[in-house]
Chain A
Amino acid sequence: GQQLNQSPQSMFIQEGEDVSMNCTSSSIFNTWLWYKQDPGEGPVLLIALYKAGELTSNGRLTAQFGITRKDSFLNISASIPSDVGIYFCAPNQGGKLIFGQGTELSVKP
């Protein structure tokens, strides 16, 4: 089956610091999506990537679709307390999303 590894599992950072997380896979995907989930809520779409090598920003968030189509990273610059939550990569293949294990982000004011 497809293997998807998301790292790190958790991060504890100081407000204002930059954050980086990534996902790697043994499979090739056509789309990489990044979501954020707050406790007790559904995931919210942050960034969608559709082309290998594509680099896309959404405010303080930047994500890239790896050139091999097997990986993606998400960067958050100048973190703030409301960035706290769980971030998931979710590549799409055949219309289905495969969710990574998640990166739990904690931001200390």
Chain B
Amino acid sequence: GAVVSQHPSRVICKSGTSVKIECRSLDFQATTMFWYRQFPKQSLMLMATSNEGSKATYEQGVEKDKFLINHASLTLSTLTVTSAHPEDSSFYICSANPIREIYNEQFFGPGTRLTVL
């Protein structure tokens, strides 16, 4: 149980294009999903909290117009990196918080490696 998938697992794009990453909870529902970014040899940094049916909450320093988040259902959140630049190249990981009594657990997807040329 508590499986989270991400698609695509890898993407290479040209500078200036937009890239959409999907995060799905496969066997549970999640009102809240989270998006993290991880640079090589570094820890995970929370970018934003995605709430089903409402606007995402972004962490300080994260541009909401550049990183568009949509949480359309209880099992799907998407992150769109708009007008990507080489400095956006990173490992993007989502997590989901199951709707159940133990509300503090987060289960992570396998990550998406984004490379912007």
Whether, in the assembled complex, B105 has its beta carbon less than 8 Å from a beta carbon of chain A, the answer is yes
Indicate with 1 or 0, residue by residue over A71-101, a CB within 8 angstroms of chain B CB atoms.
0000000000000000010101001111111
- Inside 8 A of B49's CB, which chain A residues have their CB? 95-96
B43 touches A40 (CB 8 A): no
Q: A40-B113, A42-B93 are in contact. Are A88 and B44 (CB under 8 A)?
A: yes
Partner of A31, one of B6, B43, B104: B104
Q: Which residues of A contact B4 (CB under 8 A)?
A: 42
Report the bound CA distance from A40 to B6 in whole Å: 13
Q: How far is the CA of A101 from the CA of B41 in the complex (A)?
A: 9
Contact B104 A40 (CB under 8 A): no
Q: How many residues of A contact B (CB 8 A)?
A: 23
Smallest CB separation, A73 vs chain B (Å): 18
CB contacts (< 8 Å) of B104 on chain A: these are: 30-31, 33, 48, 50, 92, 95
A and B contact pairs by CB, cutoff 8 A, 7 listed: A41-B111, A45-B2, A48-B104, A50-B102, A95-B97, A97-B46, A97-B106
Which positions 30-53 of chain A face chain B at CB distance < 8 Å? 30-31, 33, 35, 40-45, 48, 50
Q: Determine how close the nearest CB of chain B comes to the CB of A76; give it in whole angstroms.
A: 20
